Amino acid sequence: MQSNIQWFPGHMAKAIRQFEANIKLVDVVFELVDARIPFTSINPEVSRISQGEPRLMILTKADLADPKLTQQWLRFFRTQGLVALAVDAKLTGVQKKIENAARTLLTTKLAAQSERGMERQTIKAICVGVPNVGKSTLLNQLVQRRSAPVGNRPGVTKGQQWLTGNGHLELLDTPGILWPKFQNQTVAEELALTGAIRDSAYHSDDVALFALQFFRTTNPTVLQERYRLQASALELPAPELLLLITANLGMRDDYERASDRIITDVRKGKLGRFTLDEPQDVVTDEH
């Protein structure tokens, strides 16, 4: 794994400043994490900055994740006092689900405002999360594409706009893009495998080897079928297994290309639904 998959400190500082300014404008933060790596794709700055502000934890790509582990993660987040839900951000209907959850989360706040005579129809929100987690996809769903920007408002970063949809949500048009954390090799590999860091930032064979290690223990049958492997092949050291798969794919010794194929297969769910993080690892894991 190359070591250059770091964010520049300047970018981080800017992202934090922007998020700190934006949070003052919204009622609720929609914190998006990838359901396949719910812990790895968390940016700790979100909870630090949004301390005390209502936050809805949205596990995206739940359609690609292991459903049992998704349930475990939802329970885990709820024990942390968070309101959490899992979605396929591409499905219609996601807007209602999120709006209802946001309304429930804000019950006290909205009731207090209503007592003061401020009846509120709309809820203002911002989406934040690491690259590729589904921020734009969800934003498009929430504002249902047909909506138009409603213009600038005081305090909003120049050029930033509120988007509204058919529902009662107003979203800032610029989602908060946060950097992923790179505490250790495993974290970086998980981010690479799920697509949260750009392809040029890692060696695909490292990531493919990581994937093979994972799938041969969690889902050996699908690995065998996909790459036409004998059961005994799964006992091979991972680099040899990769070479064998390269040959089976008819790619001679182009193991870089085979690695890319494996990564694409994983991301598309061709090796089945999977989740790389488990809640029970959080206590002991140092990432």
Applying CB under 6 A, the residues found at the interface with ligand GDP are 60-61, 63-64, 88-90, 129, 131-137
Helix, strand or coil, per DSSP, at residue 56? strand
In the complex, minimum distance from the CB of residue 267 to ligand GDP, in angstroms, rounded to a whole number:
9
In angstroms, the CA 207 to CA 215 distance is 12
Comparing CB distances to ligand GDP, the nearer of 138 and 245 is 138
In the complex, minimum distance from the CB of residue 213 to ligand GDP, in angstroms, rounded to a whole number:
23
Comparing CB distances to ligand GDP, the nearer of 77 and 255 is 77
In angstroms, the CA 27 to CA 261 distance is 43
In the complex, minimum distance from the CB of residue 91 to ligand GDP, in angstroms, rounded to a whole number:
8
Can you name the residues that pair with 177 across neighbouring β-strands? 129
Comparing CB distances to ligand GDP, the nearer of 32 and 209 is 32
Tokens in use for 155? 């305090």
In angstroms, the CA 49 to CA 63 distance is 29
In the complex, minimum distance from the CB of residue 34 to ligand GDP, in angstroms, rounded to a whole number:
9
Q: Which residue's CB comes closest to ligand GDP?
A: 134
Helix, strand or coil, per DSSP, at residue 215? helix
In the complex, minimum distance from the CB of residue 135 to ligand GDP, in angstroms, rounded to a whole number:
3
Nearest to 29 by CA among 91, 94, 83, 74: 83
Nearest to 126 by CA among 45, 22, 205, 269: 22
In the complex, minimum distance from the CB of residue 63 to ligand GDP, in angstroms, rounded to a whole number:
5
Comparing CB distances to ligand GDP, the nearer of 38 and 129 is 129
Comparing CB distances to ligand GDP, the nearer of 46 and 89 is 89
In the complex, minimum distance from the CB of residue 59 to ligand GDP, in angstroms, rounded to a whole number:
9
Comparing CB distances to ligand GDP, the nearer of 50 and 141 is 141
In angstroms, the CA 209 to CA 191 distance is 14
Locus of tokens 């994937």: 211
Comparing CB distances to ligand GDP, the nearer of 31 and 189 is 31
Comparing CB distances to ligand GDP, the nearer of 138 and 187 is 138
In the complex, minimum distance from the CB of residue 89 to ligand GDP, in angstroms, rounded to a whole number:
4
Q: Using an 8 Å Cβ cutoff, are 287 and 181 in contact?
A: yes
Q: Could you write out the DSSP letters of every residue in 57-120? A: EEEE-TTTS-HHHHHHHHHHHHHTT-EEEE--TTSTTHHHHHHHHHHHHTHHHHHHHHHTT---
In angstroms, the CA 67 to CA 83 distance is 18
